[in-house]
Amino acid sequence: MLVRLATGCSWEDAERLTGHKVSDTTMRLRRDQWITAGVFVALEEEALHAYDKIIGLEFSDVSVDGSQHKSPCGGEGTGKNPTDRGKLGWKWSILTDLNGIPIGKAIDGANRHDSVLFTPTLDEAGDRGLLSDIETLWLDRGYDSKATRQGIAERSIADAVIAKQRRNGEPKPKKPLGMGLRWPVERTNSWLSNFGQLRRNTDRRSIHRLAQFSLAIVCLLTAKLIDWRNRWSRDLSPIR
């Protein structure tokens, strides 16, 4: 599963790359069994809890953004990607802390507007009891709408900064419209896009995409924890 996630290859190729130790049919069966048992969700929760316990989540500035990617096999949860000549694709939306750690997510078709995925993304963080810790929420101008503001108010987020859109007929500003402190979520989208199966997803069911997405987040958090361990385990004795 990790080989397929990282490379974006087919199940058959993943079997060959792992030396035919497990058949592609067995891998599919195990994935479906683990989804039913909630294994991928539990892994993500455990990784997030470990990160928060050891390093700590930073809620002073959080941000939300979506990212569109290819889904050539179609299936549920896909749609025409307006940024890819109308080809089928899917989109994820993530909420990240100041350091780019995903604390909420949602997925849908690539034709869905970011604002449609906004509240489901917040709600996953709310289910984890994390919304009340948010101090400032940063959003790009695509979220500049009444529905977004209503969703923010309903979830009692005190401070939200939305980059203002320039309306039709308004004069062009002398300075570019600011995007705010959104680089952490943009960077995390880039990290997740490095996984081949997320960048070009060939699954046809949303639950399979969610499982892949959760596994990618687990890999990301595990890498962060390993880097933290190595940071404090280096030999700091002076060179003689």
The model's pLDDT over 122-167, given as tens digits with 9 standing for 90+, comes to 999 999 999 999 999 999 988 988 999 999 999 999 899 988 655 5
Q: Tell me which long-range contacts 128-132 makes (C-beta under 8 A, separation of at least 24).
A: 128/45, 128/48, 128/103, 128/104, 130/57, 130/59, 130/103, 130/104, 131/155, 131/156, 131/157, 132/156
Give me the sign of the Cα torsion angle 17, 189, 45, 113.
negative
Task: For residue 18, give the amino acid letter.
Answer: T
**To the nearest whole percent, how much of the chain has pLDDT over 70?**
90
Radius of gyration of the chain (CA): 20
For the segment 99-109, the average pLDDT, to the nearest whole number, is 97
What single-letter DSSP state applies at residue 205? S
* Dist CA 47 CA 41 (whole Å): 10
pLDDT beyond 50 at 240: no
**Is pTM beyond 0.85 here?**
yes
pLDDT of 169: 54
For residue 236 the two structure tokens come to: 């700091």
Backbone angles phi, psi at 67, to 5 degrees: -145, 130
Mean pLDDT for all residues in the chain? 91
pLDDT beyond 90 at 108: yes
Enumerate domains of the chain plus CATH numbers: 58-202 (3.30.420)
* Dist CA 122 CA 93 (whole Å): 10
| CA distances (Å), origin 29, targets 4, 84, 211 | 15, 33, 13
